[in-house]
Structure 1
Amino acid sequence: MSDPTRPDPPDTDPLDTGLLAPGRAGSAAEDATGDAAFLTAMLDAEAALTAAQADVGLVPPSAALAVAGAADPARFDPRDLALRARADGHPVIALVADLTAAVGEEHAPHVHRGATSQDVMDTAAMLVATRVLGPVLRDLTRTERALADLASRHRDTPMAGRTLTQHAVPTTFGLKAAGWRHLVLDARDRLTAVRTALPVQLGGAAGTLAAFAEYAPDRSPDTGPRLLAAYARRTGLAEPRLPWHVLRTPVADLGAALALTAGALGKIAADVLVLSRTEVAEVAEASGGGSSAMPHKANPVRAALVCAAARQLPALASVLLSGLACEDERHAG
C-alpha cells in the first residue's frame, strides 16, 4: 500500500541543485518534490494499482507482491526515463517497460493492466502534492502560533497606521500581527481542505473504466467502480466521483490554494520590508542577510524571498487554471 507519508526518495545527483532558488534550497518541500520524488510517486501508483486489482480479484496476490518488490526507485534512472520520454511526451511508457522487465515474465502481464499513462501521471502528481503539503501545513501551524504570541505580546504596542503609504491614525503592532495570523489561518484551512480532497486517478484509455471489466471473471460492469475505490484506499488519496482526465478542478484548486498561501505570507513579508527600512526601523528580522559591497548591512532577506515567491505563484497558478479548458476525453498538452 502506498503511504502519503513515505520517507524521502533516495538521494540522486539532481540536475537542479537550487543554486538559483534559495527560497526552496534545503527545505522539506524540496525533498518532497522534484524528479526523484515524482519517480517514487509513479512507482507507488503502479504498485498500488496492481495491489488494488488483487483486492478485487483481477490479478493474483502474488502479482501485487512482485510489482511492489520491483517498484524500488533505486532500480530506475530518472535521467534515462526523461530522455526516453521525448519519444512519447511523458515518462510513463518508458517506466512501465522497465518495471515490466523488472517484475519478470510470470507477472509482466499484470503491470499497468487496463490503465492509461495519465492515470499514473495524475495519481503521482496527487501523491507528490499530498506529501509536500504535510510539511507546508506544519510550517503554517508553526507560523500561526508564533504570530499569535506576537499579537498577544504587542497588543498595546502603539504604531502609526498607514494608508496609501502615509501616516493615518494610531494602531497597535498587536493588531497588525493578528491580521497576519488571520491570513495564515485562512491559507492553512484552504490547503487542508484541498489536501483532503486530492483524488486518485483511474479511468483507462478514455475514462470509461471499461477495460478493467474485461479482466473480471464475470465481466461485471461494477468492476471499474470497485477497483477505483480499492485504488483510492491503496494510495491514501480521495475517491473521485468519476475519472477526471479532462475535469481538472483538483489541479486548478491546488494551484489556486498555493497561490493564496503565497499571497498571505507575501503580505507579511511586504509589511516587514517596509517597516524594516532604515528610516522607519519599526521591525527587523532576527538575523539579516549580508551584502558583498556593504558589510555593515543586515538585509531582510527572508522577507525578500517570501515576496519573490508571492509574486511568482499567481502566474504559475494561472497556467494550472488554464488547464480547465480542455477538449474531448483526453486533451493534448
Structure 2
Amino acid sequence: MTSSPHTGSIFGAVFARGGAAREVTDRAWLHAMVEFEAALAGVQARAGIIPDDAAQAIAGACQRPLDAAAATAGSSATGTPVAGVVAQLREYTGAPHAQYVHYGATSQDVMDSAAMLVTKRALVPIRADLADVADTCATLAEEHRDTVMAGRTLLQQAVTITFGLKAARWMSGVDTAIDRLDSLHHSALAVQYGGAAGTLCTLDDRGPEVTRALAERLRLATPELAWHSDRTRIADIAGALGIASGSCAKIATDIRLLAQTEVAEASEAPPAGDDSRAGTGGITRGGSTAMPHKRNPVAAVAAGACAQRTPALVATLLGSMAGEHERAAGAWHTEWETLSDLLRLTSSAASWLLESLRSLTVFPDRMLTNLAAPLRGGSLGSAGADVDRALRRHRGHG
C-alpha cells in the first residue's frame, strides 16, 4: 500500500504536518474499507444471514495485506477503489465463501463508511491540538489580563484594550470550534449500509437490524435511513472543519500583524535549545535566504497557509449535496480526496498554530509605547471582567 502523496512531497513539511496526515493516507482508507467488510460479515453471520464459516474466512482474508495498485486499477475500471478491494478479498477468501464477501452492500456503502472511520480517527489529533491551542491562549489571557495595548479596527488604532482580552477572544473561538467538532459524533459520523438503492433488498426486512449491529461494531452512529443521496453529514463535517480552520486562521493573522517590524508587539522565538540551523543551510529559524536580519513568524505563516486552502474544500463538499436521484453521478466521488485534504490541512493549521503560540514572546512595553497618545489612560471598560468570565467558561469546557 502507498502512503499519501503529500507526506513524502517537498511540501509535506508544511501542509502535512498535523497528526491527521497519517490518518488520511491511502493505507488508512484501504484499512477502513477492509474494516467495513470484516465487520459486515461478522454481523451478518451473527444474524444468521451468512454462514459462520464464511465470516471467519472473510475475517482472515481481511488480515492479509492488500495490493494498492490493484485497488487503483479497480478505480480506473469502475470509478471507485471498492471493486479492486472486493476482488482481492474474494480471492483471499476462496471457495465456497467468496460469494459472501460484500454481501448485500454497494460500493458507496464501503466508501461512505470508510470516510466516516477515516474522519473519526483524523479528528482525534485535530481536537487534541485545538484543545492545546485553547489552553495556551488561556494562559496568555491570564498572564496578560491587565497588559494594555491598542485595540485596532480596520487596521487603525481604536480604543484601549488588553492583550489578555485579545487572547481570551482567540480562546473562545477555538472552544466554539471544538464544540462543533465534538457534535459530529452524535449523528454525522454514521455508518452507511443501504445496498443498491438504499433499501437493502437482499436482506428482506432485516436491513435495519443489521445496520444497527454494523454501526455498533464499527462504533459509528446508526442513521435513520441510508444516506446515499443525503449528504448533510458530509456538509456538517465540512462546516465544522471549516470553522476550526478559520479559528486558526484568525489567530495566525493577528500574530503575523503583531510581529511586523513596525509593530513588534509579539514575536515567535526559536525552539528552546535549538539554533534552528540544522538542515537549513545555516538559515536561522524565521530567517530569510536573502535578508539574514529578519525574524519571520514562520509557524503563524504556515498555519495561515494551511487554513487559507480550506474554504474552497468546504465549498466543494457543500456542492456535493446536489446529487442526482438515489446515487450521485460524480458529486459523491468528489468527496473522497477533498475530505482527506480538508482533514489534513485543518490538522496542519492547528499544529502550526500551537507551535506559534507556544513560542510567542509578548512585549508589553512595546504595546504601551505604540499606544497613541489620545488613547493613554482611556477606560478599559469590561475588559478584565470579560477575560475572567471567558476563562471560567473555558475551564468548564469539555
TM normalised by structure 1 equals 0.90
Q: Offset at 1:68?
A: 2.0
The alignment status of 1:306 with 2:297, answered yes or no, reads no
Q: CA deviation at 1:133?
A: 0.2
Q: Which residue of 2 aligns with 1:3?
A: none
Q: What corresponds to 1:121 in structure 2?
A: 111
Asked whether 1:269 is paired with 2:259, we answer no
Supply the distance in 1 between the matched residues of 2:247 and 2:222 (Cα, whole angstroms). Answer: 30
The secondary structure found in structure 2 opposite 1:284 is strand
Residue deviations 1:112-162 (CA, integer Å, cap 9, x gap): 011000000000001000000011111111111111111001001111111
Determine if contact 1:56/1:230 at 8 Å carries over to the other structure.
Answer: no
3-state SS of 2:13 partner: coil
3-state SS of 2:150 partner: strand
Tell me which of 288, 307, 315 is aligned to 1:291.
Answer: 288
Deviations 1:54-104 (A, max 9, x none): 2211112332222222113x6212233113311111110111011100112
| 2:100 paired with 1:103 | no
Residue 175 of structure 2 is matched in structure 1 by: 185
Aligned to 2:195: 204
Question: CA offset at residue 299 of structure 1?
Answer: 1.2
In our comparison, the structure showing a higher alpha carbon Rg is 2
Q: Is the 8 A contact 1:246 1:329 kept in 2?
A: yes
Distance 1:13 1:244, change over 3 A: closer
Question: Does the Cα contact within 8 Å between 1:49 and 1:231 map onto a contact in 2?
Answer: yes
Deviation, structure 1 residue 34: 1.8
Q: Report matched runs for 1:1-333 at 5 Å.
A: 12=2, 14-16=4-6, 17-72=8-63, 75-197=65-187, 198-213=189-204, 221=205, 223-287=206-270, 288-333=285-330
Alpha-carbon distance, 1:12 to partner = 4.3
Deviates more, 1:137-146 or 1:62-71: 62-71
Contact kept, 8 Å, 2:73 with 2:84, in 1: the verdict is: no
Q: Partners in 2 of 1:196 and 1:254 — Cα distance?
A: 12
Asked whether the equivalents of residues 256 and 297 of structure 2 are also in contact (C-alpha less than 8 Å), the reply is yes
Verify the 8 A CA contact 1:55 1:230 in the aligned structure 2: no
Q: Report how far residue 296 of structure 1 moved.
A: 2.8
SS in 2 for 1:264: helix
Bigger mean CA offset, 141-150 vs 293-302:
293-302
Q: Which amino acid aligns with 2:152?
A: R
1:26 Cα deviation after fit: 4.5
CA distance in 2, matches of 1:196, 1:157: 41
Q: Is the 8 A contact 2:3 2:25 kept in 1?
A: no
Q: Give the residue type in structure 2 aligned to 1:22.
A: A
User: Greater CA deviation, 306-315 or 145-154?
Assistant: 306-315
TM-score using structure 2 length? 0.76
Counterpart of 2:35, as a letter, is: D
Classify the secondary structure of the residue corresponding to 1:203: coil
**d(CA) in 2 for partners of 1:109, 1:187:** 45
CA drift at 1:196: 3.6
| CA pair 319-210 structure 1, distance change in 2 beyond 3 A | same
**Partner AA of 2:170 in structure 1:** W
Q: CA deviation at 1:324?
A: 1.2
**CA shift at 1:310, angstroms?**
2.2
**Which letter maps to 2:47?**
V
Q: 1:195 to 1:286 in 2, by over 3 A?
A: farther
More relative contact order in 1 or in 2 (CA 8 Å, sep 6+)? 2
Give the aligned residue type for 2:173.
Answer: L
Deviations 1:2-23 (A, max 9, x none): xxxxxxxxx8465441422433
Q: Identity of aligned pairs, percent? A: 47
For 1:18 and 1:259, locate their aligned partners in 2 and report how far apart those are by CA, in whole Å. 24
Question: Are the counterparts in 2 of residues 272 and 283 from structure 1 also a CA contact under 8 Å?
Answer: yes
Quote the Cα distance in structure 1 between the aligned partners of 2:4 and 2:115. 19
Structure 2 counterpart of 1:53, one-letter code: Q
Matched pairs, number: 314
Indicate if the aligned counterparts of 1:115 and 1:204 stay in contact, CA closer than 8 A. yes
Greater alpha carbon shift after TM alignment, 171-180 vs 161-170:
161-170
CA-to-partner distance for each residue in 1:214-261, whole Å, 9 max, x for gaps?
Answer: xxxxxxx2x000001011011111000010000001111101111111
RMSD between superposed Cα atoms in Å: 1.5
Distance 1:314 1:181 in 2: 21
Mapped partners of 2:193, 2:3: distance in 1? 32
